Structure formats: C-alpha cells, structure tokens
C-alpha cells in the first residue's frame, strides 16, 4: 500500500517469499504470513503455474505445502509441473508436499459440508506440518445454499460463506494462495465479485493483446500492510524457472 519502497518495517509480520523471481522484491520481501491471497486471472493467464511455484519453492525454503486441486486431476498437476522441471512426486514422497483432490466432495451436489472441508484441510496441514496452502481455484468451494434463494439473499449468502471460509483458513496457521477466475471478457477480479474484498491481497495475471500477439502481465492490485510497487510488469514462463518477471 506504500508508494515508496525500501523503508524498514520493524513491526510487521514475517514475510513469506512467493518464490517468484521479481515478485518478492515488488512485495518488499513477500506476503505477510498467515493470511489468504488471491491470484486472479482469466483462463490461460498462468494462475496454476503461480500456485505450483509457490509451493515448490516453499519446500526449497523449508516450508511444506498442501496443494488443493478441485477442477484438475492431481496427476495432471504433477505432469504439468514436470514440464517446467518441478518434480512434485519427489516432494510428495518426502512428505514435504501433499496433493489433495477435493473433487469427491462434489460427487453429490447435496451433501457438501464446508466445515468438514476445513477440518480435513487442517488434518492434512498438521500431517506434514505445512506452512503453505494453495486452493486452485476458490470458486467451486462456494457451494450452493440448501434452499432456493433470491438475489439479495444470494449476495448475502455468498459473502458470508467466503468470509467464513477465509477466516477458517487464517486459523490454520498457513499462508494461503487461492486462485480466482476472472470470467473471460469481463473487468471483474473474481467469479462472485466479493472475493477480492475479503482476501488480504490480490495479485492479477493477465494477457494483453499487442498487435498480433499476447503478452503476459502481472501487477499487485491490493496488499494489506505491505509497501508494494504499483507498476504493471510483463513476465514469461520459463522451463526450469517458472514465472520470471521483467523488472
């Protein structure tokens, strides 16, 4: 939130390095520990690579991670990481990473229990003493109300649901990256339009058409308690390194 980088923050929370080259510098060190952050982008902007890099580098820094996948098979995630050069299975075998597929929860539309999900997450986190959590993506966790509701109530219901989810996550003593889908062709930051107000920070990934090609961009849209840079930076995705921001 500060426009001038480089000051001292004696009283601040410990920072969690994102593992993304350049980004930690833009964040004056990293993400404040123990909170929930959105990585928002349309389809194909690199949200999953960002999330993978966050947990993979986390292990390198000595912080274990739980990666919750909902819309993608864990074996696909493993393969995709491998194409960049990140061997997740090795980390899983070493008990440094846990890949969780939440999809079975949705097999039956009617019996999902939000509290049960958080309880399970807590158990996984405890099991490998994780410090990092990824939820990729957050939208499908917003489960439907048990009764049919009108629009005003829906607004109210979704907000309370997401707030309560984020509050529960914050109690797990991990730093959470939740990916947020920007509906294609809109100027929104999230599926429901409230996620960005409830998260402690928002990092935006986008594709910008310039002449006959697309360029990847990243910027920090919101970051509570952090002196962050407000420039829009381009980035590439590189084998062996993942996301590399041009400063």
For a copy of itself, the closer CB: 49 or 64? 49
Minimum distance, C-beta of residue 31 to a copy of itself, in the bound complex (Å) = 13
CA distance 86 to 22: 19
Minimum distance, C-beta of residue 127 to a copy of itself, in the bound complex (Å) = 26
Which residue, 82, 64, 183, is CA-closest to 126?
64
Minimum distance, C-beta of residue 155 to a copy of itself, in the bound complex (Å) = 8
For a copy of itself, the closer CB: 15 or 128? 15
Minimum distance, C-beta of residue 18 to a copy of itself, in the bound complex (Å) = 17
CA distance 132 to 19: 12
For a copy of itself, the closer CB: 120 or 140? 140
138 in Cβ contact with 68 (< 8 Å): no
Phi and psi of 168, rounded to 5°?
Answer: -65, -40
Which residue, 173, 105, 107, is CA-closest to 141?
105
For a copy of itself, the closer CB: 47 or 64? 47
């Amino acid at each position: 939130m500060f426009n001038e980088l480089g000051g001292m923050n004696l009283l601040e929370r410990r920072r969690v390095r994102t593992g993304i080259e350049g980004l930690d510098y833009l964040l004056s060190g990293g993400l404040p520990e123990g909170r929930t952050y959105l990585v928002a982008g349309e389809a194909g902007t690199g949200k999953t690579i960002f999330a993978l890099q966050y947990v993979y580098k986390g292990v390198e820094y000595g912080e274990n991670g739980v990666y919750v996948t909902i819309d993608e098979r864990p074996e696909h995630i493993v393969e995709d990481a491998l194409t960049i050069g990140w061997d997740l299975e090795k980390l899983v075998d070493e008990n440094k990473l846990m890949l969780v597929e939440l999809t079975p929860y949705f097999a039956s539309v009617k019996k999902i229990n939000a509290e049960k999900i958080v309880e399970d997450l807590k158990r996984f986190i405890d099991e490998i003493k994780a410090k990092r959590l990824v939820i990729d993506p957050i939208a499908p966790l917003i489960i439907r109300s048990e009764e049919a509701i009108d629009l005003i109530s829906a607004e109210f219901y979704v907000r309370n649901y997401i707030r309560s989810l984020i509050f529960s996550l914050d109690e797990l003593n991990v730093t959470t990256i939740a990916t947020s889908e920007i509906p294609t062709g809109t100027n929104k930051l999230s599926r429901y339009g409230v996620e960005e107000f409830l998260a402690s920070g928002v990092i935006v990934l986008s594709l910008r058409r310039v002449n006959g090609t697309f360029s990847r961009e990243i910027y920090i849209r919101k970051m509570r308690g952090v002196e962050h840079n407000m420039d829009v930076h381009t980035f590439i995705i590189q084998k062996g390194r993942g996301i590399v921001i041009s400063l």
